[in-house]
Amino acid sequence: MGFLTEIETLEEVPRFEVNKVPLKNDRGEHNGVFALERSDNGAHLGSCGNKYRPIQMDEMFDILNSASEEVGDIKHTGWTMAGEGKRVVVQSKLGDPIDVDGDKVDGFFYTVIDNTGMSSNKCAPSTKRIACDNALHLIEKRRGDNLRHSDTFEANVEGMVKRIVRNIEDFKGFNETIEFLKCNKFSRDQMAKLTQKLIPVEKEESTRRINQREKIVELYESGQGNIGESRWDALNAFTEFETHNRKQSPEKLVRSLMGNTLSTKALRVLKEPKIQWAG
C-alpha cells in the first residue's frame, strides 16, 4: 500500500494529543457538546459528549507494545492517517508466513485509533498472499472487541491486550482455512453464481456493475497464482479485484477494516462446508 509510511518501530510514528474543548452556544453557554482538536495544529477531528474520553496515541501504543511482548515476533512496519488525524492506522507484521503447499501468506494486523468521537478503537488481523500481494482482512465481529473512549478505559486496558492477542491467533489458525479452500473444487459456473450473489443482478444494470462480475470471474481463472479450480482461487479473485483493481487510500483502508468488503463476504460463503445454492 503506497500510502503507508514505512517504519521500524512505533517511535517513528508522529504523535499528537487530542484535546476535548467545550463548545458554547450564541449566549456563551456550554451545552454539553465538546469539539475534538489536535494539540499540535488545532485541526478539528470531531465532536463528542460529556462521557467521551480521548484515548491518546501514546496510550494505544503502550497497549500495542504490551500485546507484542505477550505474543512475540511482531514488527510494526507502517502507519498512515485519514482526515488530518481523524483516524490513525498502524500496520504490524506477524512472524513467519503460513505455508500451505508452497502457497505462502504473510500475517499482519492493523490498529485503528479513532479520534472522531463517533467510534471505538479497533484491531483487525489481515493476510497478504506473497504470490500476488493480495490483502484480506480477517474481520470477525465479536462483542467487546473494540476499545471504547470512556472513563473506564484504564480498567479495560488488560482486556484490550488480550483481544489483540486473540485477533493475532485468528491469523495463525488461517492455515486450516487455506487448506480447506484449496481442497474444495469450485467450477466457473459456481464462480459466476457467487459473483451474482455478492453483486446481485439488478433490473436495470450499469455496464460498470456487469464488468465487475465479469472481471472477478476472469481473475478466478487467470489472476496471479490462480488456475480456476478451487475455492481458494475464488477467494483470491475477490481479494485481487479489491486490492489491485481499485484505487487505494487511507480512508478506504479504514472502511475495509471497519466493515464488510466483497472479500470478507466471499470468505464467509466459501468456508461453509456446503454451498447449496451454487450447485
Residue spans of beta strands (DSSP E) within the chain? 5-6, 18-24, 30-38, 44-48, 74-82, 87-100, 103-114, 122-129, 134-137
Per-residue pLDDT of the chain (279 residues; tens, 9 = 90+): 568 999 999 999 999 999 999 998 777 777 889 999 999 999 999 999 988 999 999 999 988 888 888 877 789 999 999 989 999 999 999 888 889 888 999 989 889 999 999 888 888 888 889 888 888 887 665 444 566 777 666 666 777 777 777 777 778 788 899 999 999 999 999 999 999 999 999 988 899 999 999 999 999 999 988 999 999 999 999 999 988 866 778 888 888 877 778 999 999 999 998 887 665
> Structure pTM?
0.84
Give which of 95, 118, 93, 97 is closest to 108, Cα–Cα: 93
Cβ neighbours for 188, distance < 8 A, ≥ 6 positions apart: 217, 220, 221, 228
pLDDT of residue 68: 81
pLDDT of residue 29: 75
